[in-house]
Amino acid sequence: MRHCSVNSPCPATRRVWRSRWAAIGAAVAVTLGAGGLLSVSAESGAASFVAISPDRILDTRSADPIGATDLGGGGEPYELQVTGGVIPSSATAAALNITVVDGRTNDFGGFVTVYPCGPRPDVSNLNFVSGQTVPNSVVAPLSADGSVCLYVYGLADLLVDISGYYDTTATNSGAQGPAGPAGADGAVGPAGPAGADGAVGPAGPAGADGAVGSAGADGADGVVLLDDDLTQSIPGADEPDVVIGADGNPVIAYVDGAANNLMLATCGDIRCATFESTTLVDTADQVSHPRIAITDAGNPVVAYRDVTGGVSKAKLVYCGHPSCNSVQQSQGFSTTGVTGGPAVVSSLSDGGVVAVFHSGSTVYVGACARVIGPCLDVGAASYAWLGYDVSGVDIVIGSDGLPVIAVSSVNSGGTTASLAIGRCSVVSCSGVTFSTEWSDATLTSATMSDPTIIVGPDGKPRVVFGLADNSSRQTVVLTCGDLSCSLGNQDEARWDTAIAFTADAIVTVDGDLLVAYRGENTSGTFPNSMLNVARCTNSDCSDRIIAQIVDGSVHAGLDPSLVLTANGLPVVVSATLDELVIRACAQMHCNPYIRAD
């Protein structure tokens, strides 16, 4: 618990105490935050109101915010000394204006309670939601020692201004009577939005009651299912990748593990309540790493790795129909010995695509301009990564219509991991200049995952990848400062998890970054895992809310793939050891749980 007073100021708190005093007449009207008036009698034995020049007695913006870092309440109250100096010890109450600055809270909202220090009443004096700055006026009784306590459900900086106090020994002259209504008029402006939030405010206590109820479910890790997510499964499936088809419904490319077939599942609605599977053209001994895109004709094209007779190549399957149930044409790139990728985007007219893949320390970029029949050009340009082994590649169409490529790699000693970005100068990506935009040279035995590159809400790329070094495993987010990710990049955000090696990301309708990855299970044991979904609540993802989603398997969350449907709700597809799980989220942050702790 922190203490501040007029004789012992808090850091960076401005106070200008004046000795100008005035008393008011037989009654005083004090304007409250809701717009009502409070009349206080000045008869013998009653407290009289003494108005003073408004003064700020608390400002925590240069110190720690008040509340709890989990944004769900439970923090210690803040004790503020009011009497002392110009406020006499005989004061029994104070007229205060409380302002929440940059409030942060969970989906139920937050509130502030102002009360005499001691047992906290189950009420709120001010309500707020994340990112809001909102004031309210409060007449607060003082504790016996002249202090008040401020409790924050959530996390916020507080401003406290005082405009007067009540005193049983004071005699009011009435000279300052009008000052109370004038102060109230100033607060009426923000009182409108505060009133609307006030309607949400009661949900805060209701939420707290819900959390108390869940305490009985500690055996289930203290979680309660709130939303009705829709889940489907495909037995024996693996390595999924999902996009939105021409009809607005998800389309999923995957590998049938039992028959080693390349498959396509076309969903019958945006939640994939029904779907139809189609086997794609494939004569390979082994297929892996399928990645899907939708061409300008509205038909799927799937890139994958083909191993036939011990020779590995990057290949494409073009579909002649949105569900791929008619003509299918297969085309291979001329490069052999492919060990990673491919990733593919549709950036050319007439169904053309650009694919990127790698082999050892070489990255290949190939444009496939397809008018009718197979691709006209399947040659691939090569780019050497000297001294480094390429671990993954990804490609996205930038906000200016030009492809952007991300490449993750680790040096031969495992001591340095790096991420390079290349922005194509033309849509066919015939020439790319790569430059390293992130690196970590403090490692001892590092590995990196395939990167995922997306376009953020500001039109600039964001890259998500997994980094492992011995027992340390992290998910990393790099936020680019320009279209080429070469200037003004923000320091990466990292967070630890037991596994965190494959990841995918999208931007939600409210502009938040959503990251799906394989993480630890609720007990934190390894190698058991589960699907984790992290919602970044600020621009560089240094603040996050993480949901752990139980899909009925101790090995869930493999190869997650995210997509945003037309109704603003995500669909996430991931694999276990024996099936593919399709989850249509019922909440835009794909978080169906609330934790009691």
Q: What is the pLDDT along the chain (597 residues), one digit of tens a residue?
A: 444 444 444 433 333 232 222 232 323 333 343 333 343 433 334 678 999 999 999 999 988 888 887 777 768 899 999 998 788 989 999 999 999 998 899 888 899 999 999 999 999 999 999 889 999 999 999 999 999 999 999 999 999 999 999 998 765 444 444 444 555 665 665 665 655 565 665 655 655 555 544 443 333 343 344 457 888 888 888 889 999 999 999 999 999 877 788 989 999 999 999 989 888 877 667 888 999 999 888 889 998 998 888 888 888 888 888 888 878 888 778 788 888 878 888 767 667 788 888 888 898 888 777 655 566 556 688 889 988 999 899 999 999 989 999 999 999 888 999 999 999 988 888 889 899 999 999 999 989 989 999 998 889 999 998 888 887 888 889 999 999 898 888 766 787 765 556 789 999 988 889 998 887 655 555 455 678 888 988 877 888 888 877 665 667 778 899 999 999 899 999 888 788 899 999 888 888 764 333
Residue 53 lies in a domain: yes
Residues 302 and 435 in one domain: no
Residue 186 lies in a domain: yes
Per residue, the 3-state secondary structure of 485-549, as one string, reads CCCCCEEEEEEECCCCCCEEEEECCCCCEEEEEEEECCCCCCCCEEEEEEEECCCCCCCEEEEEE
The two structure tokens encoding residue 304:
């994958």
Domain span holding position 481: 395-496
Q: Which residues pair with 306 in a beta bridge?
A: 287, 313
Residue 196 lies in a domain: yes
Count: domains in the chain: 4
Q: For residue 435, which of 458, 454, 407, 415 has the smallest C-alpha distance? A: 407
Instruction: Give me the pLDDT at residue 39, please.
Output: 36
Residue 248 lies in a domain: no
How crowded is residue 536: how many other Cβ atoms within 10 Å of its Cβ? Answer: 24
Q: For residue 222, which of 478, 548, 519, 571 has the smallest C-alpha distance? A: 548
Type and span of the H or E element at 135: strand 134-141
Instruction: Give me the pLDDT at residue 287, please.
Output: 87
Residue 57 lies in a domain: yes
Residues 61 and 167 in one domain: yes
Instruction: Give me the pLDDT at residue 328, please.
Output: 83
Residues 28 and 138 in one domain: yes
Residue 466 lies in a domain: yes
Pick the last residue of a domain from 445, 474, 496: 496
- Give the three-class secondary structure for 564: strand
Instruction: Give me the pLDDT at residue 215, please.
Output: 41
Residues 406 and 486 in one domain: yes
Look at the block and give the residue holding tokens 């001994």. 285
The two structure tokens encoding residue 219:
């055996």
Residues 351 and 328 in one domain: yes
What span, in angstroms and rounded, lies between the C-alpha atoms of 97 and 237?
A: 60
Type and span of the H or E element at 35: none
How crowded is residue 514: how many other Cβ atoms within 10 Å of its Cβ? Answer: 22
Instruction: Give me the pLDDT at residue 7, please.
Output: 40
Residues 472 and 513 in one domain: no
Residues 41 and 146 in one domain: yes
Pick the last residue of a domain from 463, 496, 529: 496
What span, in angstroms and rounded, lies between the C-alpha atoms of 265 and 270?
A: 13
- Give the three-class secondary structure for 6: coil
Q: What is the pTM of this model?
A: 0.61
Pick the last residue of a domain from 454, 473, 496: 496
221 burial type by CB count under 10 A (0-12 exposed, 13-18 middle, 19+ buried): middle
Residues 367 and 477 in one domain: no
Residues 146 and 33 in one domain: yes
Residue 247 lies in a domain: no
Residues 482 and 502 in one domain: no
Residues 349 and 424 in one domain: no
> Residues 341, 321: contact at Cβ < 8 Å?
no
Residue 366 lies in a domain: yes
Task: Tell me 87's DSSP state.
Answer: B
Residues 483 and 335 in one domain: no
